[in-house]
Amino acid sequence: MKLTFLGTGTSFGVPKLGCHCAVCRSPDPRDKRTRVGALVESARGTRLLIDTPPELRMQLIAAGIDRIDAVAFTHQHADHTHGIDDLRAITVSREGPLPIYGPAETLRELAVKFRYIFDDTIRPLPGTSKPEGKAHPVEPGTPFRVADLEVIPVQVPHGDVTVFAYRIGPLAYVTDAKSLSPEAIRLLSGARVLVINALFRTEHPTHLSIPEAVDAARAIGAERTYLTHLTHDNFHADLEAELPRGIAPAFDGLTIRID
């Protein structure tokens, strides 16, 4: 299995618009963070996209990705969904609509915001195109399959929004979580690689802080943990140097292989 971090930044991205801090002006390319998204690819070539952040087109181009087999949304917030129209370039070459999975709440909201994608009665004019997607609501703890990938949705708290983490074989992918319940830890334990959100060093009402993410990683016990959804509060190199062994910040374009 291969995991590509398409974007690893918070909802503002890094550099943050209007900010002139040292991190936002950093020449280190690892300190340039677009909004969070990832691509999982199985050994047989099945590609599952997690979320459609606003920079999706440029992220996929940078990663050399021109085909995906399905999308799994974590939740409906703009920084995780508003690149959905970029799927048009993917679906125009498909024979059928792209399967789109996620919490029922998320898919209902997307069907309102982006009705032209999900309403089959809305057809593009001759010579034009639109993204073609088919919504598949999924339930926490109930696996679904994308070809040879088995995906288990794991519900995590994020304010008043339903967010799904995903367990995909040896990978546990958690974003926009404030905490992990014992049931979530049970479902995610045993993963060899953990991806988990880590916002500030101090507590936040809807996100794990960096210390809380480290504690959650220890509870899950993965061999390798990568922090994502990072802000401009830390230089990548400095954060990497201070984190415990086996835990590292991710960065845009990072690709890892998971046996």
**pLDDT single digits (tens) 74-125:** 999 999 999 999 999 999 988 889 999 999 999 999 999 999 999 989 988 8
Q: How many domains does the chain have?
A: 1
Domain span at residue 150 reads 2-257
pLDDT of residue 3: 98
Rg (CA), the chain: 18
CATH number of residue 17's parent domain = 3.60.15.10
pTM (two decimals): 0.96
Q: For residue 250, what pLDDT band results from cuts at 50, 70 and 90?
A: very high
Q: Percentage of the chain surpassing pLDDT 90?
A: 90
Q: Percentage of the chain surpassing pLDDT 70?
A: 100
